[in-house]
Copies of this chain bind each other. A is one copy, B any other.
Amino acid sequence: MADILHRIGIKSASMDAVYQALTTREGLARWWTSNTEGEGDQVGNIIKFRFGAGGFDMKVTDLTAPSHVQWLVVDGPEEWINTTVDFELKQDGDYIILLFKQLNWKEPVEFMHHCSTKWAVFLMSLKALLETGKGTPDPNDVKIDNWN
């Protein structure tokens, strides 16, 4: 098993504002992909994220407002299915610290390397959304390689 880990710090935001950006369709669409369907505010809900090349269906498996959000990947690329996406929030001085994990990749395949970098870029989009009011979700996201 292998895991993707990231940490960002968001300034000038409340924990609740970050939590909203992780649990509402509108919030998610403003930093990850504009083609997002479903609300992430109830455990058991399915959120459908679509990109040009496909997408992911996530089942909300834990919500502890305003500090924890967890999803299980129930559909998408084979390598993603049954991985867990986890967001943990805490205050540290002027920053909201977000610890991100995508846990339980079966193998550290090349696609995992890509997704690790791409998550970093999308988390920087989340940071920008909360700090400046504007994220860069797909399809206007920052491209990192020939897989986007």
A92 near B: Cβ within 8 Å? yes
Chain A interface residue bracket vs B: 20 to 34
A110 near B: Cβ within 8 Å? yes
Report the minimal beta-carbon distance from A26 to chain B, rounded to whole angstroms: 25
Contact between B99 and A113, CB atoms less than 8 A apart: yes
Interface residues of A in 68-105 (CB under 8 A from B): 92-95, 97, 99-101
State how many copies of this chain the complex holds.
Answer: 2
Contact between A7 and B108, CB atoms less than 8 A apart: no
A144 to chain B: which residues have CB within 8 Å?
A: 7-9, 124, 127
Q: Specify the main secondary structure of chain A where it touches its partner.
A: mixed
CA distance A6 to B117 in the complex (A): 5
Report the minimal beta-carbon distance from A135 to chain B, rounded to whole angstroms: 15
Q: Given A110-B99, A144-B124, A146-B92, are A117 and B3 also a contact pair (CB < 8 Å)?
A: no
- Among B7, B108, B110, B127, the residue within 8 A (CB) of A110 is B7
Q: Given A142-B124, A144-B124, are A6 and B110 also a contact pair (CB < 8 Å)?
A: no
Nearest neighbor of A144 in chain B, beta-carbon distance = B8
Interface residues of A in 127-146 (CB under 8 A from B): 127, 142, 144-146
CA distance A8 to B92 in the complex (A): 31
Report the minimal beta-carbon distance from A68 to chain B, rounded to whole angstroms: 15
3 closest Cβ pairs, A-B complex: A9-B145, A120-B120, A7-B113
